[in-house]
Chains A and B, each alone.
Chain A
């Protein structure tokens, strides 16, 4: 039971005892069973948001004032003024460390301001001297200079900015066709802080925000850091990545309910569903596998394929290890979503060996149908409307996609849409009634 539920149960207890539903003794036993919960401490989210927004506005204002009359200043004067925004932000940060260390709003705001002003100072210098060119180098320098702020200020916004920076860097290098697998090491630099936050409470705001960002960032990075030496590797890599997220979410974040506090579980599940849907089409399975190995990409830079091999082996391996423990714990949902990389690998081998695409796509038709039906049935059984609706959407997407593959008349398509819509409405009405206890 999560802490929120326990807290509301404790709030109810005195009333229940007063009305004679529970004996005082039973109420005490309940308290002893669930243990103490810390009183709800409303984190002043608004204060934090306005603190961060305020520092953003101040930073932008300083830059605008500097830009005004910028050209009338001499070059050395401009160079020295370029430090001003950064120095002001650093001064504010020192004051925060000395006087306002206990205020989350000040820590987040001041560290965010320093992070942004690092970039502003470097760009002002670059403009003064007409320096252009190395955009990825600039972003990486900026991000690395800002990384210590995460640890010093125990702040999440600089961590999000850092993650954005290194993701952007990896994307730019991909565009230039340069080596960018260093992203994974750079991202790992955030893990100690994430571990500390999770130790203090894994469903709190900071680890939750960072985990959502990590899900998005690694999803982008998985696509841009592989070298594409082996065509179609992305199918195995992504199915394993999403399954790994889901299983890790099931494994380490199972005590809480709700959507937002469990980023790994829900991002992973969404990833598996969307990817499976894409893989029910035939186009992803065209020209993949070892017969289409791109030797010319290996020719000059064979070592650049090493991260491909490492990612393509480690992520599926981690997913399978978690899958085995999930099977031992007899968690059917984990088993279903965790199977994605295995099914993807089977599909991959089928397409590579036979050069026909229908079997692999058909395999995923079946997989998505099973997941969808399971989500519907299990959702109804345990009264989880959200889960049931996700299952319904999966099945409907599948039906619509397959019907559109064939040339059906508009009338028939229209009727199918109406039928699916009615099914969705009926299921939800049924669910609502059951929740209210009506027949």
Chain B
């Protein structure tokens, strides 16, 4: 076999791997979008300065802390699984925090920020669910809308997330019960 043909074969293997990675990402997310259960997450008030990131809206999901019995056994930066449930208003709540992936229950990976031993709770981040991407033109307007509707007195933002097993994908960002793109169109006219 000539050197050229050998290189072409090696390159086709490399090409296959290069295409497989994004394809695998898409397949997994599409499956979650199709089969996953929808959870509505409340969003937490954010520092308006901190929220500006240009191409995406920086989200901060609720709940930010989880009640646990063994707060002293958790460490900062530890990875955990938040087993999800729904409250009477239809919003997502964390039923419990597991160290290993629970089987047969919808659960999302979270990161422990710090344990609060006195309050018997653990503060958590939702590291995979903190960005909602938009184009450069729309992202700043969406950010402004997001934090105006996310102050303590006026909390009308929520995010829908599809969860299947422990895969979670953000579906949409809502402001006043409308998807953010629709809300921006309506409010641009005003």
Contact = CB atoms under 8 A, between A and B. Distances in A.
B131 A177 contact: no
Interface in B122-163: 127-136, 138
Nearest to B58: A132
Contact of B21 (A75, A79, A90, A141): A141
A152 B10 contact: yes
B77 A176 contact: yes
B143 to A, nearest CB: 15
A70 B25 CA distance: 19
A152 B128 contact: no
B169 A121 contact: no
A132 B181 contact: no
B11 A133 contact: no
Interface stretch (B12-20, B42-50, B61-69, B86-94): B12-20
B4 interface: yes
Interface in B9-56: 10-11, 13-15, 17-19, 21-23, 25-26, 29-30, 33, 55-56
A70 B170 CA distance: 18
Given A71-B134, A71-B135, A83 B22 contact: yes
Contacts of A124: 22
B8 interface: yes
B136 to A, nearest CB: 8
A157 interface: no
Interface of A: 67, 70-71, 75-76, 79, 82-83, 86-87, 90, 93-94, 97-98, 101, 114, 118, 121-122, 124-133, 141, 145, 148-149, 151-152, 176-177
A131 B134 contact: no
Contacts of A176: 77
B111 to A, nearest CB: 9
20 contacts: A67-B135, A70-B135, A75-B33, A79-B26, A86-B22, A97-B4, A98-B4, A101-B4, A118-B18, A121-B22, A126-B25, A128-B133, A129-B29, A130-B131, A130-B133, A131-B128, A132-B127, A145-B14, A148-B11, A152-B7
Interface in B56-82: 56, 77
A2 B138 CA distance: 61
Contact of B181 (A71, A76, A97): A71
Contacts, number: 92
A128 B77 CA distance: 27
B158 to A, nearest CB: 15
Interface of B: 4, 7-8, 10-11, 13-15, 17-19, 21-23, 25-26, 29-30, 33, 55-56, 77, 127-136, 138, 169-170, 181
Nearest to B169: A129
A94 B12 CA distance: 9
B132 to A, nearest CB: 6
A94 B138 contact: no
A94 B11 contact: yes
B10 A130 contact: no
Contacts of B14: 145, 148-149, 152
Contacts of A83: 19, 22-23
Contacts of A127: 55-56, 133
B125 to A, nearest CB: 10
A79 B19 CA distance: 12
A125 B135 contact: no
B184 to A, nearest CB: 10
B134 to A, nearest CB: 7
**Which of A125, A129, A145, A149 has the most chain B CB atoms closer than 10 A to its own CB?**
A129
B11 A93 contact: yes
A131 B56 CA distance: 11
Contacts of B26: 79, 82, 125, 128-129
A148 B25 contact: no
A249 to B, nearest CB: 33
Contact of A133 (B30, B33, B127, B133): B127
Top 3 closest pairs, chain A to chain B, by CB? A132-B131, A148-B14, A130-B170
Contacts of B136: 67
A132 B55 CA distance: 13
A114 to B, nearest CB: 7
Nearest to A147: B14
Nearest to B14: A148
A149 B17 CA distance: 12
Nearest to A120: B22
Contacts of B33: 75
Contacts of A128: 26, 133
B35 to A, nearest CB: 15
B176 to A, nearest CB: 20
A133 to B, nearest CB: 4
Contacts of B138: 71
A128 B7 CA distance: 34
Contacts of B23: 83
Nearest to B131: A132
A90 B8 contact: no
Contact of A132 (B13, B30, B130): B130
